[in-house]
Structure 1
Amino acid sequence: MKIVIAALAFASAVPALAADPIVDAPAGKVSGTSDAGLRVFKGIPYAMPPVGAKRWTAPVAQPRWTGTHRATDFGPACVQPQAPNATVYSGVPMPVSEDCLTLNIWTPAKAKNAPVMVWIHGGALVTGSSREPMYDGRKLAARGIVVVSINYRLGVLGWLAHPWLSGETPRRVSGNYGLLDQIAALRWVRDNIAAFGGNAGNVTIAGESAGGLSTLYLMTTPAAHGLFARVIAQSAYMISMPELRKAAFGMPAWESGGALLTTALKTPDLAGLRAMDAQTLTDTAAKLGFAPFGVVDGAVLPQQMVDAFDQRRQAPVPVLAGFNQGEIRSLRMLSPKPPADAATYATEIRARYRDLADPFLQQYPAATYRESILATTRDALYGWTAERLVRKQVELGKPAYLYMFDHGYPAMDEADLHAFHASELPYVFGTLAATPPRWPKIPDTAAERTLSAAMLDYWTSFVRDGRPVATGSAAWPAYETKRSYMHFAAVPEAGRDLLPGMFALNEQVMCRRRATGTIGWNWNVGLAAPVMPPAVAACE
């Protein structure tokens, strides 16, 4: 996908058209557009542009602007690598810029004190944008909620840690700039959303993939606590995290990794790094293998996510969480190459998993080893995370709802992409006809529209009052002690005990690896797993 680079010029002094809705918010006057009973505002800046000397600094609140800001067009996406290889996720070319910290709002025309959903896009913290057509918030807002979608810094511009950068800050930390952007956007919502008809005390943060990961970061950073009342985490992953100044769980100290990157870039100092062209820097860093992660810095992210949840330090809020049956069908680069035959698979698993080999092979059998490989990575990243999240919130006495999306249709299944990663999104947003060009085309049938309507109902009702309810569809029981969940296949259907044995096995693997301090838990599973550490009392 060719990405067009463009700067954003805020037309704050351009007069609004007579029919445009105008809001006078604390941030300034904003004019938008009207759309079938909704007011829509696009490309509103929530922080100052992080460019030049402000690159790799915490976002700074935008002062109140003068005149009326025309919020009729999406802002550019944040700078991200150009993508020559077409995938199912590749969209149309979009403008990108470092001046990208904007948000969009869809609100019912007569909204007052309405519940709010803040959407955080996915893309591995590398790609994506709030302007993607599949994230259009009209159908959700038409059900009576205010929808906000945000941009945040990506890749090396959003997640670089480096001694040079740490030395500039009072707490001597760096990295996590994209997360700081998300927190700044939530603060903007807190301070301004009432002017758009929203209730700042009834905000749900929601995201998918890296957006789901971001909701977990926000649950564990003290800086975000109090800024949201509920969480929707779709295909999130509670994997091991790098730490700022020490090697941990198979990853180097993140400052050291940043220093290696700048050496490879041949930049002598921070001024030179900040002077580099943003697109060139982003593309080069990606080619050199830079992978963005939230970093445990003792400040923004005080500890590993699993530790925060185990110690009950996460935000004590209701959650709705789940994953897709075919997550890895579109992400096969995350799973190891299948072996020649089932016998080789079983032999490898026994060598790697040792005393856990029998429960592993029961869960992921050799007889169907190709499917087992996909399921192994799916569960280690997404299935285990979703169930762990709801379990931990239940321990806090908070309502928690679990789901698995297992829906297919002809074009999807013919492409061997049944319920692939992110395939629930057009159903959640009601954007069945707005998928990317290479996405398997969703048929325009009553069955697909009915499923989407049900998911729109469940999601908006959870945003409204913390209970997912859909008119004319199955009741969604809370997870609680019965381990209930919702199965989205042809129609929503409630069930109990999702994938028996899955959670216990993956929790044991994580626990043993965490006890070593040197082995991470992510996609290094199955045929890619290191030899299993021995059992320890802390994991029993």
Structure 2
Amino acid sequence: MAEQPSVAGHDQSVVAAPAGALQGRIAGDIRSFKGIPFAKPPVGVRRWKPPEKLAPWSGIRDAGEFGNSCVQLEANPSASSIYADDPAPAGEDCLTLNIWGDVAARDAPVFVWIHGGALVSGGSRFGMYDGESLARKGVVYVSINYRLGPLGYLAHPELSAESERGISGNYGLLDQIAALRWIKANIAAFGGDPERVTIAGESAGALSVLYLLASPEARGLFQRAISQSGYLISSPELNRTAHGHPSAEAAGLWLQNKLGAQDIGELRALDAQTLTDEAIAAGYLTWGTIDGTVLPRQTVETFDRGEQARVPLLAGFNSGEIRSLRRLLPPPPDSEQEYTDAIAGSYGDLADAFLELYPASDIDESMLAATRDAMYGWTAEKMVESQAELGEPSYLYLFDHGYPAADTAGLRAFHASEIPYVLGNVDHVTTAWPAIPATPAEREFAATLLEYWAAFAKDGNPNAAGVPEWPAYGDARSMMVFDDGTLVRRGGIGAAFDLQDRLVCRRLLAGDLPWHWNVGIASPENPGPTGRCK
């Protein structure tokens, strides 16, 4: 059993970790520590550098307040988006994490939450990511910040030249890895087991989980993974054009020109907020970079080759993903015939299969479903299938839960709507979030999902006493469906998975086509079957 050091007699709000002593806050049996730095501030010359280890501090550091969120577009409190939340205060000095756990925790499983936000927004301070509910389930919960937007993911030839490894970009991902290293070294002081770490995230947080599974840099830093609405999209490569993306370094030079800077030194001298706002306004897209080192190859290739981390996985998606992300859809065609003709022209030998799944008789619903299945459904099953092939326990889910406010708004099971349930925070959603009813049935449903997530963090298996059995994916391609309760479905997402898997295989092999939300009437021409791709 790990011993928990103390530096203040019987004061359970104080913990002496290898990084330094911390004064937290206690509410009942749960104590929290917020705003803990896990790396040196990435400011000045450390902008666009890998995170640097922070020396242990002396004395007792107060850990009662969240640290800065990382720099992002300034929040508009009146924004109509259901996701709008206030990240303030924000700044470049933002590499902090937060911990919740029972005061009596010893060798407890650790759950690390990576926030979403398209790699350009969000933060660990949001109420929906509070860790108290999971802590009450015997889990030590950690939420982390990481650099966002151009500050977190810019690649540039000068930055590659500065690097001992000849690479650049992926600084936000390296921040996540640095946080995991800090957790491995320090979490025992908070009652956590450094050999039972689960990484989890939704949307861009789930994309980060995919990257961490694929990155050799993160090996051994976690023992299980949860991906909620992840997306195995193509990513730019460091210094060559591939898969429909300019090289990441070329994108960095393009941004330098857009911002009127002469070199990386001038870019480093720009105000962080101004740089972020102007970069995003100019159309800079934030991606991970395939650099051959941190991310060795396209993530789907890593999974196809079985080179990802060998850990148990829980992954899934929501039935209404695109209902709150309609910006991912192209303008609809004017007629059923135009829709059918577009699909026939782009999908070729796969057109009939596509139209059977996504018919012209209801173009709007078909467009919503096609993009959902291509991005999120296929990704979830692809990941689970790949882990199962490695012999790892793997669990697939579909979240199809609706309630009056969401259903009335046409947002049944929208993107991210599972988060308040699985983290036990149905009372901590954003202001514009469709109100979750405080009914006994709704609370029971939320308690069931929280139980599954907590159980998976404990031993890599979501099954626990008092909840319906969730079978592993296995040969039956079993999937748990969460609607108003639970239902096991066999066969995964079926033909939708098979269609997208064939299409991605062909695009990957062709070498000059991306795979993301360019599906349906926005699809480029299908390369056709060739080689190993049917």
Counterpart residue number, 2:80:
86
* DSSP 3-state at the match of 2:201: strand
Choose the corresponding residue for 2:481, options 473, 477, 487.
487
Counterpart residue number, 2:235:
241
Measure the CA separation in 2 of the matches of 1:381 and 1:499. Answer: 13
Measure the CA separation in 1 of the matches of 2:246 and 2:213. Answer: 25
Counterpart residue number, 1:5:
none
2:257 corresponds to 1:263 = yes
8 Å CA contact retained: 2:87, 2:122: no
Choose the corresponding residue for 1:344, options 338, 361, 364.
338
Choose the corresponding residue for 1:430, options 421, 424, 427.
424
Deviations 1:118-161 (A, max 9, x none): 10000000000000000001001100010000000000000000
Counterpart residue number, 1:366:
360
Counterpart residue number, 2:4:
none
Counterpart residue number, 2:148:
154
Measure the CA separation in 1 of the matches of 2:130 and 2:60. Answer: 24
Choose the corresponding residue for 2:97, options 103, 117, 123.
103
Counterpart residue number, 1:472:
466
* DSSP 3-state at the match of 2:90: strand
2:13 corresponds to 1:21 = yes
Measure the CA separation in 1 of the matches of 2:336 and 2:14. Answer: 64
Measure the CA separation in 2 of the matches of 1:220 and 1:157. Answer: 22
Measure the CA separation in 2 of the matches of 1:492 and 1:159. Answer: 39
What does residue range 376-391 of structure 1 map to in structure 2 within 5 Å?
376-391=370-385
- The offset of 1:19, in angstroms, is 5.8
Counterpart residue number, 2:38:
46
- The offset of 1:40, in angstroms, is 0.6
* DSSP 3-state at the match of 2:481: strand
Counterpart residue number, 1:176:
170
Choose the corresponding residue for 2:526, options 524, 529, 532.
532
Counterpart residue number, 2:436:
442
Measure the CA separation in 2 of the matches of 1:165 and 1:323. Answer: 36
Measure the CA separation in 1 of the matches of 2:24 and 2:150. Answer: 33
8 Å CA contact retained: 2:12, 2:103: no
Amino acid at match of 1:338: P
Counterpart residue number, 2:3:
none
**Unpaired stretches in structure 1, ≥5 consecutive residues:** 1-14
Greater mean alpha carbon deviation, residues 367-376 or residues 126-135: 367-376
* DSSP 3-state at the match of 1:172: coil
Deviations 1:91-132 (A, max 9, x none): 135210100000000011100000001100000000000000
Deviations 1:205-226 (A, max 9, x none): 0000000000110011101000
2:499 corresponds to 1:499 = no
* DSSP 3-state at the match of 2:480: strand
Greater mean alpha carbon deviation, residues 335-344 or residues 317-326: 335-344
2:63 corresponds to 1:71 = yes
What does residue range 210-225 of structure 1 map to in structure 2 within 5 Å?
210-225=204-219
Measure the CA separation in 2 of the matches of 1:54 and 1:92. Answer: 26
**TM-score for both structures, normalised by structure 1:** 0.96
Greater mean alpha carbon deviation, residues 326-335 or residues 31-40: 31-40
Q: Residues 529 and 17 (structure 1 numbering): CA distance in 2 closer, same or farther, change over 3 Å? A: farther
Greater mean alpha carbon deviation, residues 15-24 or residues 369-378: 15-24
8 Å CA contact retained: 2:230, 2:376: yes
* DSSP 3-state at the match of 1:215: helix
Measure the CA separation in 1 of the matches of 2:397 and 2:283. Answer: 34
Greater mean alpha carbon deviation, residues 481-490 or residues 89-98: 89-98
Deviations 1:294-328 (A, max 9, x none): 10111111111111111111001110000000000
Measure the CA separation in 2 of the matches of 1:404 and 1:435. Answer: 21
- The offset of 1:470, in angstroms, is 4.4
Measure the CA separation in 2 of the matches of 1:290 and 1:379. Answer: 26
Q: What is the percentage of aligned positions where both structures have the same residue? A: 54
Greater mean alpha carbon deviation, residues 260-269 or residues 323-332: 260-269
**TM-score for both structures, normalised by structure 2:** 0.97
* DSSP 3-state at the match of 2:141: strand
Measure the CA separation in 2 of the matches of 1:264 and 1:340. Answer: 37
Amino acid at match of 1:457: E
Choose the corresponding residue for 1:400, options 394, 401, 418.
394
Measure the CA separation in 1 of the matches of 2:299 and 2:473. Answer: 21
Amino acid at match of 1:266: G
Amino acid at match of 1:120: I
Measure the CA separation in 1 of the matches of 2:54 and 2:435. Answer: 41
Counterpart residue number, 1:11:
none
- The offset of 1:345, in angstroms, is 1.4
- The offset of 1:340, in angstroms, is 2.1
Choose the corresponding residue for 1:134, options 122, 128, 135.
128
Amino acid at match of 1:192: N
Deviations 1:469-515 (A, max 9, x none): 24433200000100101100000221111332011000011011111
Counterpart residue number, 1:34:
26
- The offset of 1:76, in angstroms, is 1.2
Greater mean alpha carbon deviation, residues 196-205 or residues 489-498: 489-498
- The offset of 1:366, in angstroms, is 1.4
- The offset of 1:232, in angstroms, is 0.3
C-alpha RMSD of the superposition: 1.4
* DSSP 3-state at the match of 1:78: coil
Counterpart residue number, 1:10:
none
Measure the CA separation in 2 of the matches of 1:107 and 1:83. Answer: 30
Choose the corresponding residue for 1:355, options 341, 349, 352.
349
8 Å CA contact retained: 1:240, 1:249: yes
Measure the CA separation in 2 of the matches of 1:83 and 1:528. Answer: 31
Measure the CA separation in 2 of the matches of 1:58 and 1:401. Answer: 34
Deviations 1:262-302 (A, max 9, x none): 01111112221111100000000000111111101111111
Measure the CA separation in 1 of the matches of 2:263 and 2:344. Answer: 50
Q: Residues 17 and 89 (structure 1 numbering): CA distance in 2 closer, same or farther, change over 3 Å? A: farther
8 Å CA contact retained: 2:70, 2:94: yes
Measure the CA separation in 1 of the matches of 2:449 and 2:380. Answer: 18
8 Å CA contact retained: 1:194, 1:200: yes
Amino acid at match of 1:34: I
2:244 corresponds to 1:231 = no
8 Å CA contact retained: 1:16, 1:68: no
- Report the count of equivalent residues: 526
Measure the CA separation in 2 of the matches of 1:272 and 1:218. Answer: 32
Measure the CA separation in 1 of the matches of 2:269 and 2:86. Answer: 29
Counterpart residue number, 2:325:
331
* DSSP 3-state at the match of 2:231: coil
